[in-house]
Amino acid sequence: MSTLRRQRNVKIVATLGPASDSYEMIKNLWIAGADVFRLNMSHGTQADIARRHGMIRQLEKEIGRPISILADLQGPKLRCGVFANGPVTLTEGAKFRFDLDPAEGDESRVCLPHPEIFEALEPGATLLVNDGKIRLRVADCAPDYANMIVEVGGDISNRKGVNVPDVVLPLAALSEKDLSDLEFACELGIDWLALSFVQRAADVYEARELADGRAAIMSKIEKPAAVKAFTEILEASDGIMVARGDLGVELPVHEVPPIQKRLTRGCRAVGKPVIVATQMMESMISAPVPTRAEVSDVAAAIYEGADAVMLSAESASGDYPIEAVTTMDNVAISVESDPTYRQIIEAQRVPFRQRVSDAITVAAREVAETTHVKAICCYSHSGTTALLTARERPRVPIIALTPLARTARRLVLSWGVHCVITESVDRFKLAVVGAARAARQYGFAGEDDKIVVTAGIPFGKPGTTNILRVAPCSEQAIYEGGSED
């Protein structure tokens, strides 16, 4: 099983939960096609998270392949208070009041125990309740209340979620729970940390400082403020998750698809992985097959060049977790086999040649596409070489070789990257030998084939990709000097 290789470039992220809470199920999800496992810190205890983490690492040892683990922090949750006599129906045009009074609510008011919201509100701002099902507009407000006009009515009940899409809230992205979960997850040894409620780059830098290199930081773009500040947030992050569920609540739904395309292309331009997430195959929570619209949705993200597509409740609490992963895998293979896919991917390629490392990875892709080279092999400690190569979206497979398990696990998330943990080397020829062995072992090339090998000299210094060699896959030919520049 250790020689298994995917027949696609896009990666699949599967969320674990009650439906996938056994070693056997996690193993079957990986066999079906899951490359990355998401641990949702919003659900379950830290003990639950630790147990699932342990099962994933046990599977990693059994199969002999690196597996990536993403811990998704909950973020601050804004909720209204409770009602004295059960749910209240708000009708269009009616008046309603949010305030800081802890008394139980009624038809005219309810507590909103978040003074930060009142500090930021202005007349005309919008509040959304219960995932956007109820929409209210601020008529007037003060530091301790907001009088609202109901624009879209519905039933409001105890502790329903509240969204404030129009303003940047003076709230930290990390709640007390998040701070505890962040430290716990980093000590556990997760690979990626997904940060919720990001509004500004400062939120990302705070999480990065707390993680202190123990995990890569993935910013979830789920608020209008984050879309506006995307360039700065992307610069501060190691990766991006397009969290379309919350975006679709806080923004008109018709704005989400073009935003998804812009964010995906922005990530690709700088060589940082991007996950497209939420409701990708929602109907498979209770059905063994998806809708045609859901298949098209997944395909659209793949055509756009996303590094990964994600399953949430489909694999965490649904009735058909393995079928959901299998279907997503089949969709990916079908899309990437379509000649139109290559046309789209290559038309979107953005020239980015500011450094020697950029030029080397561009050259590697061009050499691979104009000769009979079977794979591009990147030897890297930090993973930078592999990320830059993945940015090019080459037609041949990418093999990332690194002596660091941490680097290999993080790179699992990236488009087209097959990760191999190898021995540390101090000479480029030894890196070439290791690359040839990996290409043969995992079925990317045979003895008579050639590969492209890139690396940074001196080894171990990030961002120094500066050497490229076309090499034979035969070890004997390498040692006999058969490599050519």
Q: Any idea which residues carry the catalytic annotation? A: 38, 79, 220, 278
Q: How many helices (H) and strands (E) does the chain have?
A: 18, 21
HSE value, Cβ hemisphere, 13 Å, CA-based, for 30: 28
Cα 390 from chain centroid (whole Å): 15
In the three-class reduction of DSSP (H, G, I as helix; E, B as strand; rest coil), residue 175 is classed as coil
- Report phi then psi at 151, rounded to 5: -95, -40
The set of residues, in sequence order, having a beta carbon less than 8 Å from that of 45 and lying 6+ positions away, is: none
- Report phi then psi at 76, rounded to 5: -65, 140
Whole-number Å distance between alpha carbons of 243 and 218: 11
In what helix (H) or strand (E) does residue 95 lie, and over which residues does it extend?
A: strand 95-99
Tell me how crowded residue 143 is: count the other CB atoms within 10 A of its CB.
10
Q: What b/e sequence results for 328-345 when a residue is b if at least 16 CB atoms lie within 10 Å of its CB, and e otherwise?
A: bbebbbebbeeeebeeeb
Whole-number Å distance between alpha carbons of 408 and 383: 8
Give me 96's structure tokens: 């309603």
Tell me the one-letter amino acid at 389.
Answer: T
The set of residues, in sequence order, having a beta carbon less than 8 Å from that of 294 and lying 6+ positions away, is: 280, 281, 282, 283, 284
Tell me how crowded residue 286 is: count the other CB atoms within 10 A of its CB.
11
DSSP string, 320-357: -HHHHHHHHHHHHHHHHTSHHHHHHHHHTPPP--SSHH
Give me 66's structure tokens: 């690196």
Whole-number Å distance between alpha carbons of 18 and 21: 5
Whole-number Å distance between alpha carbons of 5 and 286: 30
The set of residues, in sequence order, having a beta carbon less than 8 Å from that of 475 and lying 6+ positions away, is: 433, 436, 437
Give me 372's structure tokens: 């009979």
Q: How far apart are the first and last CA of the chain?
A: 35
Q: Are strands 308-311 and 11-16 parallel, antiparallel or unpaired?
A: parallel
DSSP code for 251:
S
Cis preceding linkage at 458, omega within 30: yes
Burial of 167 (0-12, 13-18, 19+ CB in 10 A): middle
